[in-house]
């Protein structure tokens, strides 16, 4: 993980520089759609971490079409995940023409990127190096071109979407929660004396309130909040006292699970403190809440990129909160100053991963 840290830090610094360059005479930046800028940052990080590729979409518009293509194609995937009968070719084309064209653009991009990377014989510190060297323990064969493109495409899409959604959601909820805002800013700015100190390690890990803000954003707005179906194995299963025959698909929407009051008291309230209380709380209610919390999935099919995603989020948010004050546009300042503001839900469209707009935010150098 630490071998990827310089790549991540460099990309976060580019986002910081972009914010600084947009500062106006009043000290505030141009309004930034943090939904989009979170997408740009996450894509830039994953392209570098996976391929050692430099696209810098935070600053350069040229390759932003790739991010748009991923979002457009996910519309199709989101529908088929819930209604697989629509995957029949004759039905797909008229229904998902735009999504199919977007998929083709993305596949072409990945294949070109893969060809370039394969021609680069210099040893790189990236995920592709490990995948390229992987061998089947039984046959001794490595992955072919198609398998390499599929694996790396999945990593870029999954790694970009989930991280960007959580980054945007955390900025949204902190930006509309005055008590949380004050607490997390105080914590981050008291832990570090300079930007150069914000690195993976004990000091960053000691920012427990920052981590709680991220965990609560993941609960409120899980990046893959829909139902992830699983087929019942041979012999069937009994779920909540109901027998389910083998071959049936079962699942639960993560968003619904995370907003069930039986597991999370006041489920529609953004409350990072619930995670600080549960950290040392051994009660049955705390254990139930932790068991019901599944933003990265559970079991053998859970997200393998969870550690990388959390490190990215901690580094990014600590860096931004250390440098900048920020304010969502249209915020009710009277309610903010009185500490009575309650954050509205951060809305996502379920296209397998969550598709978002905003929050729209202005930044200034910290006071």
pLDDT of residue 301: 67
Question: In the predicted model, is pLDDT for residue 138 greater than 70?
Answer: yes
pLDDT of residue 24: 97
Give 131: exposed, middle or buried? Use CB within 10 Å, 0-12, 13-18, 19+.
middle
Nearest to 68 by CA among 41, 36, 38: 36
pLDDT mean across residues, the chain: 92
Q: What mean pLDDT do residues 145-158 have?
A: 90
203's tokens? 């000091």
pLDDT of residue 299: 72
pLDDT, one tens digit per residue, over 255-301 is: 999 999 999 999 999 999 999 975 556 555 778 898 999 998 877 66
Is pLDDT larger for residue 141 or for residue 89? Answer: 141
Q: What mean pLDDT do residues 151-178 have?
A: 94
Which CATH topology does 2-224+295-365 take? Cytochrome p450 (1.10.630)
25's tokens? 């005479």
Q: What mean pLDDT do residues 210-216 have?
A: 98
Q: What mean pLDDT do residues 245-255 have?
A: 95
d(CA 266, CA 338) in angstroms, rounded, equals 22
Q: Does residue 256 contact residue 195 with C-beta atoms inside 8 Å? A: no
Q: What mean pLDDT do residues 298-321 have?
A: 89
Three-state SS across the chain?
CHHHHHHHHHHHHHHHHHHHHCECCCCEECCEEHHHHHHHHHHHHHHHHHHCCCCCCCCCCCCHHHHHHHHHHHHHHHHHHHCHHHHCHHHHHHHCHHHHHHHHHHHHHHHHHHHHHHHCCCCCCCHHHHHHHCCCCCCCCCCCHHHHHHHHHHHHHHHHHHHHHHHHHHHHHHHCCHHHHHHHHHHHHHHCCCHHHCCCCHHHHCCHHHHHHHHHHHHHCCCCCCECCEECCCCCEEECCEEECCCCEECCEHHHHHCCCCCCCCCCCCCCHHHHHHHCCCCHHHHHHHHHCCCCCCHHHCCCCHHHHHHHHHHHHHHHHHHEEEEECCCCHHHHHCCCCCCCCCCCEEECEEECCCCEEEEEECC
Phi, psi (5° rounding) for residue 355? -100, 135
Least trusted range by pLDDT, from 85-99, 163-177, 255-269, 325-339: 85-99
Radius of gyration of the chain (CA): 22
Torsion over CA: 195, 305, 40, 8 (sign) = positive
C-alpha distances in angstroms, 196 versus 9, 108, 113?
A: 10, 38, 32
Cα end-to-end distance, the chain, whole Å: 33
pLDDT of residue 159: 86
pLDDT of residue 286: 79
Residue 355: pLDDT band by 50, 70, 90 thresholds? Answer: very high
pLDDT of residue 302: 73
Q: What mean pLDDT do residues 185-199 have?
A: 98
Residue ranges of domains in the chain = 2-224+295-365
Q: Is 303 annotated as a binding residue?
A: yes
Q: What mean pLDDT do residues 154-165 have?
A: 90
pLDDT of residue 279: 57
Strand-pair partners of 239: 242
pLDDT, one tens digit per residue, over 25-78 is: 999 999 999 999 999 999 999 999 999 999 999 999 999 999 999 999 999 999
Residue 193: pLDDT band by 50, 70, 90 thresholds? Answer: very high
Question: In the predicted model, is pLDDT for residue 352 greater than 90?
Answer: no
d(CA 54, CA 48) in angstroms, rounded, equals 6
Q: What mean pLDDT do residues 79-103 have?
A: 88
Residue 85: pLDDT band by 50, 70, 90 thresholds? Answer: confident
d(CA 167, CA 39) in angstroms, rounded, equals 9
pLDDT of residue 280: 55
10 Å Cβ neighbour count for 71? 17
């Amino acid at each position: 993980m630490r071998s990827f840290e310089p790549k991540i830090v460099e990309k976060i610094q580019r986002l910081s520089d972009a914010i600084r360059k947009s500062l106006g005479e009043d000290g505030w930046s141009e309004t930034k759609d943090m939904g989009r800028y979170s997408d740009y940052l996450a894509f830039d990080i994953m392209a570098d971490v996976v391929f050692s590729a430099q696209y810098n979409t935070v600053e350069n518009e040229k390759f932003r079409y790739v991010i748009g293509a991923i979002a457009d194609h996910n519309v199709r995937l989101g529908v088929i995940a819930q209604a697989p009968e629509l995957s029949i070719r004759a039905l797909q084309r008229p229904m998902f023409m735009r999504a199919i064209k977007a998929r083709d653009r993305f596949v072409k991009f990945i294949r070109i990127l893969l060809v370039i990377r394969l021609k680069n014989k210099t040893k790189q510190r990236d995920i592709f190096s490990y995948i390229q060297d992987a061998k089947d323990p039984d046959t001794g064969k490595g992955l072919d071109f198609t398998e390499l493109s599929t694996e790396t495409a999945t990593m870029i899409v999954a790694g970009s979407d989930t991280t960007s959604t959580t980054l945007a959601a955390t900025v949204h909820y902190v930006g509309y929660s005055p008590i949380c805002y004050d607490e997390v800013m105080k914590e981050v700015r008291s832990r570090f004396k300079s930007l150069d100190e914000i690195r993976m390690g004990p000091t960053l890990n000691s920012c427990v309130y920052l981590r709680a803000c991220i965990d609560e954003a993941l609960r409120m707005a899980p990046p893959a909040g829909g139902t992830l179906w699983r087929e019942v194995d041979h012999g069937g299963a009994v779920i909540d006292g109901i027998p389910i025959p083998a071959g049936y698909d079962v699942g639960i929407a993560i968003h619904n699970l995370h907003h069930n009051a039986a597991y999370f008291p006041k489920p529609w309230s953004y409350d990072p403190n619930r995670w600080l209380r549960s950290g040392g709380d051994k009660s049955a209610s705390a254990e139930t809440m932790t068991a019901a919390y599944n933003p990265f999935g559970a079991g053998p099919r859970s997200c393998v990129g969870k550690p990388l995603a959390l490190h990215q989020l901690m580094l990014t948010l600590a860096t931004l909160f250390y440098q900048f004050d920020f304010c969502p546009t249209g915020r009710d300042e009277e309610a903010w100053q009185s500490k009575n503001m309650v954050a509205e839900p951060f809305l996502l469209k379920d296209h397998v991963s969550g598709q978002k707009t905003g929050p729209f935010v202005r930044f200034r150098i910290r006071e």
